[in-house]
Structure 1
Amino acid sequence: MKKDIHPKYEAAVFSCACGNVVKTRSTAGDIKFDICAKCHPFYTGRQKLVDSAGMVDRYVKKYGDADSRKGGKNS
């Protein structure tokens, strides 16, 4: 087997912006990230629902319905 071809597998710290820290081992070293399962809205139950129906209504109000345009469909 060849020597010195594998990356070094050392202790690493994964740090989240919320302050959550996970100590493990990695070849990448210390890593900082923005969001983790401890602070992500899906996992914490603090989800924000997007009102997509309201967005469609605003679009139709602004630009009108495609069928109501002059000439109707396929014009």
Structure 2
Amino acid sequence: MQQDKQPDYHPVVFRDRAAGYAFLTRSTARSEQTIEWDDGQSYPVIDVEISSESHPFYTGKARTVDTEGRIARFERRYGGAESGEAT
């Protein structure tokens, strides 16, 4: 097995700018910027535009698509299965 082929896996802070939320995890991502965390140590920080704290799916603010209304409108406009036309 080849030695020293694994990437450097280290603690990193990801900061969601939209929600003002930050979390400490382990990653191979690198950054020149650092931030002092709650434990008093300094960690590299990576700014992200969206995370589970601000994503509409996870926050419950996701929009639902009215697929039934779209299908009914299509069938009214172009004729549906009840029109009796053979395909």
**Pairwise same-fold verdict (TM > 0.5):** yes
Distance 2:57 2:5 in 1: 41
- The 1:17/1:64 distance shift into structure 2, 3 A limit, reads farther
**TM-score scaled to structure 1, two decimals?**
0.59
Matched-pair identity in %: 39
Q: Which structure 1 residue ranges, 4+ long, deviate > 6 Å from structure 2? A: none
Where does the alignment leave 5 or more consecutive residues of structure 1 unmatched? none
Instruction: Work out whether residues 10 and 29 of structure 1, in 8 Å CA contact, stay in contact via their aligned partners in 2.
Output: no
State the superposition RMSD in angstroms: 2.9
Where does the alignment leave 5 or more consecutive residues of structure 2 unmatched? 32-45
Relative contact order, higher structure (CA 8 A, sep 6+): 2
Higher share of residues assigned strand: 2
State the aligned residue count. Answer: 72
Distance 1:64 1:13 in 2: 56
